[in-house]
Amino acid sequence: MNTRLIAKVEIKNQNIVKPIYFEGLKKIGNSKKVIQEICKHEIDEIIYLDLVASLYQRKLDLNLLKENLQNIFVPATVGGGIRSIDDCNNFFENGADKISINTYALQTNKNLINTIAKKYGSQSVVINIESKKIDNNWYCFSDNGRINSNVKVDDWIKIVQDLGAGELFIQSVDKDGTKSGYDIELFDKIFKICSVPVIIGSGAGSLRDIEKIIEIIKPEAICLSSLIYDDFSIINKIKKLLEKYNDK
């Protein structure tokens, strides 16, 4: 199995921003220019998330999405404000290869996952899980890490897999943007119950952090943002690092 390298781009208005602990947005730059720069360095995929669509209960900017993904020849998973099949149709028509869903499915209608999977196939459905440890359990959060659903991560994973989710994107609210290393305890726990591919995110601050998680877990995909923004050329270094472990 080869571990894919994915860039997470978080959109607010026309710009890419980077939160820490899902809060306090740091402006990175114009979204189209940053995405083009990322793709120049041969990233495998991107995850494109509108950070405030669900929070403000508004639609993702489809014109901006189309412009940002134009002439981008890597698969793109798109999320933000999805509430219906029509929203998914609009995403796919404007450049998305997969859709990412969190808030609406978690808070309102989990069966939308099954509806999407039946229409487009499970491979098109990525469940974004924003996890935070409280006492001795991890819980699912929504609205960019702001609202606790009181649903345990391991319970939600079992539910969404049964509903037809094709992939899970697991993030740690306490690690995201910190560059302090991955939450090994979280990923070790959830990998034991996952039957679909998992994308891990949140916390990578060095090549060693990436190497460590591969040695321990060997995930299907790693998603990065802060580390890439420090130096886009690190994408190439990470790809070379992954080659050492791929197909083993």
How high is the pLDDT of residue 248? 61
Q: Residue 1, Cβ neighbours under 10 Å: how many?
A: 11
Question: In terms of DSSP bridges, do strands 15-20 and 23-30 run parallel, antiparallel, or are they unpaired?
Answer: antiparallel
For residue 136, is pLDDT > 70?
Answer: yes
How high is the pLDDT of residue 67? 96
For residue 144, is pLDDT > 90?
Answer: no
For residue 55, is pLDDT > 60?
Answer: no
pLDDT tier, 108 (very low <50, low <70, confident <90, very high otherwise): very high
User: Could you give the residue ranges of the DSSP H alpha helices within the chain?
Assistant: 31-40, 62-69, 85-93, 103-107, 112-120, 153-162, 184-191, 207-216, 226-230, 234-245
For domain 4-245, the CATH superfamily is: Aldolase class I (3.20.20.70)
- Listed by start position, the domains of the chain span 4-245
How high is the pLDDT of residue 25? 77
For residue 75, is pLDDT > 90?
Answer: yes
How high is the pLDDT of residue 56? 55
Percent of the chain with pLDDT over 70: 97
Distance of alpha carbon 186 from alpha carbon 56, whole angstroms: 29
How high is the pLDDT of residue 162? 98
pLDDT tier, 49 (very low <50, low <70, confident <90, very high otherwise): very high
pLDDT tier, 54 (very low <50, low <70, confident <90, very high otherwise): low
